[in-house]
Amino acid sequence: MSNDKVITATNLTKKFGDFTAVDHISFDVHKGEIFGFLGANGAGKTTAMRMLCGLSLPTSGEATVAGFDVYKENEKIKKSIGYMSQKFSLYEDLTVKENMEFYGGIYHMTDKFIKEKTAFILDHLHLQKEANTLVRSLPLGWKQKLAFSVAIFHEPGIVFLDEPTGGVDPVTRREFWNMIYEGADKGITVFVTTHYMDEAEYCNRVSIMVDGRIEALDTPSQLKQTYDASTMDEVFLMLARKATRVEM
Amino acid sequence: MKRRFPLSIFNFQFFAFVKKEFFHIWRDKRTMFILLGMPVVQIVIFGYALTNEVKNANIAILDNSKDAATASLTTQLDASRYFALEKNIVTYKQIEEEFRKGKIKLAIVFPQHFGEDLQHFNKAQVQIIADAADPNTANQLANYATAIISDYQDRVTNDRRLPYTIDTEMRMLYNPQLKGAFNFVPGVMAMVLLLVCTMMTAITIVKEKEMGTMEVMLVSPMRPQMVVIAKAVPYLLLSTINITSILLLSVFALELPINGSLALLGFESILFTLVSLSLGLLISARAASQQTAMFISLVALFLPTIMLSGFMFPVENMPLPLRIISNIVPAKWYYSIVKSVMIKGLGIAGVWKETLILAGMMTFFLTMAIKRFKIRLA
């Protein structure tokens, strides 16, 4: 196995009773890559992501994250990854600073590290004035950027983003993607699920899941060429129409 | 090194979590005041307003005799703290009118020649008429009136003792003044602890599920068991404050004695708090929304606690199935312990059985809750 691969999956499968949510998927993600994980609702992308995050045990198949086995070493995986969901997962009744202190705390960071990192992030996001503001009263776009900063607060090698831009306007989405690029430039591997096809174009490589299987996996430009389409949207529709599963 | 590794369960990570929980409670001022103020309000309401002791019930007297004996009896009835003489009436028909109007709770009829009969034949009759639309009160009032009348009889017959009399002497053990507070203070303690611990713990955990923060916790290196324990700590503290304020109010405002050991009472209260916390954790593992958590807490816990713990209604008089069910209500055992320790002054020897039952319940609920949490991870 090459050191370059930070996530590997081989025939990864998850069954719930008779229902196969994830059906023998195989892929690798490289260090520093922005990996788009696409699929319609119910295609199985959330289930696949939960297995990689150590939230759910696979039924069969192999997978490693940051070099650790998802069956046996999920405690080690948890220390090496960051996670952000579409709900942003900040505590609304805590201030910006308190949220950072809390997340730093649960990742075993020292007081000194937390202090320096908090100052750095606030400075970087131009949020110094809002340090003691309750998250509740911040605009959605700020919350989202803050949530991303919190997800990589402990400087993980990999960050999983589960539909991170849901409900946000295009300008803010664009700014958010700039943050993702910055993270990737620093060597953080980004594993992102999304519904927005324009975002798919921003990814280095994209996989498209249909009915629990990966139907396509390549760079956006290669995919467009293969399917003779002008946009990722067309590629996605072509593949997603094959779906037989009813939306969950 | 930027990482600090866990040495024990009381590490930095744990404290960060507990601190956050305190922020949640502190920032939600309304809920916090309800949680801390509720026991005070309940004690005041139960202590001063809601009481099943009857005081100053209005009565009417129909005195057909009008002699020294009836006059004396009338004065005594009126003077007692149970009764207040609403009016003297003159015809029998009026009695019913007064009852209908709801002006009186009890009527006493002295027949003609009451005093004479008493003096000459050592025997006289009195009629007591009570409004049995409320049977308990009617019974109680009739008993009070009978007691006052027989008290009078004892005094007049004192000089001329009857050859055979049986003097019954009553002693009301542990609660000589028959104060209602002896009954409801333990009940309120059980209710408050259950509310704070079970409902609030269940709600805060379910809230994290709803907000999506629970998922982030589970992805973090924080162990799920630790999340659960850290959640419970602030509520344990809040409960300690509540127990203290209830006991202080009981002792200083309601003049209740603490006859047994305060340490034992504290220990048992913490045990019950832990049972309630475990129940809250169990509920939170099952409920998907805050409303569901609240509903389960209310229906599955509060109603049984109020109905079956013996606090409102005596369990001994219930049908067998209910008596059996009452045994699985934790509050029943705690209520019994508090009464034994606080009022009767018993030591651990008197309550070890109940203590063991509570400890067993705690172990069971906690094991179930943690198991549920682990299953959710698989």
A112-137 tens-digit pLDDT: 999 999 999 999 999 999 999 999 99
In a domain, B110, yes or no: yes
The domain tally of chain B equals: 2
| pLDDT tens-digit map of A75-117 | 889 999 999 988 878 999 999 999 999 999 999 888 899 999 9
Instruction: For residue B104, give the CATH number of its domain.
Output: 3.40.1710.10
| pLDDT tens-digit map of A13-26 | 999 988 999 999 99
pLDDT for A242 equals: 78
Give the DSSP H/E element, type plus range, for residue A159. strand A158-162
Can you list the residues of chain B whose pLDDT is less than 50? 1-9, 378
- Residues of chain B with Cβ-Cβ distance to A71 below 8 Å are none
- B139 shares its domain with B238: no
pLDDT for B53 equals: 65
- Residues of chain A with Cβ-Cβ distance to B221 below 8 Å are 75, 78-79, 106-108
Residue B86, token pair as written in the block: 């609403």
pLDDT for B51 equals: 63
In a domain, B80, yes or no: yes
One-letter amino acid for residue A134 of the chain: L
Residue A170 has pLDDT above 70, yes or no: yes
In a domain, B168, yes or no: no
Cβ within 8 Å, pair B215-A75:
no
In a domain, A2, yes or no: no
Nearest Cα residue in chain A from B28: A93
pLDDT for A23 equals: 92
Determine contact: A62 vs chain B, CB below 8 A.
Answer: no
Cβ within 8 Å, pair B12-A108:
yes
Domain boundary residue among B124, B157, B190? B157
Domain boundary residue among B125, B157, B189? B157
pLDDT for B376 equals: 57
CB-nearest to A101 from B5, B16, B211 is B16
In a domain, A196, yes or no: yes
pLDDT for B241 equals: 92
Residue A33 has pLDDT above 70, yes or no: yes
Q: Region A34-45: what's the mean pLDDT?
A: 89
- B244 shares its domain with B212: yes
- B196 shares its domain with B283: yes
Q: Which domain holds residue B67?
A: 57-157
Cβ partners under 8 Å of residue B150, min gap 6: none
- CA neighbor of B111 nearest in space, from B123, B101, B99, B103: B123
- Residues of chain A with Cβ-Cβ distance to B15 below 8 Å are 105
One-letter amino acid for residue B79 of the chain: A
- B210 shares its domain with B71: no
Q: Which domain holds residue A226?
A: 32-48+72-240
In a domain, A12, yes or no: no
Residue B161, token pair as written in the block: 């003792």
Residue A212, token pair as written in the block: 């629990």
Cβ within 8 Å, pair B6-A108:
yes
Residue A2 has pLDDT above 80, yes or no: no
| pLDDT tens-digit map of A216-234 | 999 999 999 999 988 888 8
Nearest Cα residue in chain B from A95: B23
Cβ partners under 8 Å of residue B304, min gap 6: B325, B326, B329, B331
ipTM confidence: 0.84
- B39 shares its domain with B109: no
pLDDT for B9 equals: 45
In a domain, B3, yes or no: no
- B233 shares its domain with B349: yes
Domain boundary residue among B104, B122, B157? B157
- B24 shares its domain with B88: no
In a domain, B167, yes or no: no
* DSSP-assigned beta bridge partners for residue A28: A8
| pLDDT tens-digit map of B79-120 | 888 888 887 777 888 888 888 888 888 888 988 888 888 888
Cα separation values, A178 from A30, A145, A212, B5, B329, Å: 20, 10, 30, 34, 57
Cβ within 8 Å, pair B220-A55:
no
- B259 shares its domain with B369: yes
pLDDT for B263 equals: 92
pLDDT for B209 equals: 86
Picking from A84, A89, A143, A160 by the largest number of B CB atoms within 10 A of its own CB, the best residue to mutate is A89
The domain tally of chain A equals: 1
In a domain, A99, yes or no: yes
- Residues of chain B with Cβ-Cβ distance to A92 below 8 Å are 211
| pLDDT tens-digit map of A179-216 | 999 999 999 999 999 888 888 899 999 999 998 999 99
- B88 shares its domain with B184: no
Chains A & B: contacts with CB separation below 8 Å: 91
Cα separation values, B181 from A23, B176, B187, B245, Å: 66, 12, 10, 15
Picking from B23, B219, B377 by the largest number of A CB atoms within 10 A of its own CB, the best residue to mutate is B219
Instruction: For residue A42, give the CATH number of its domain.
Output: 3.40.50.300
In a domain, A61, yes or no: no
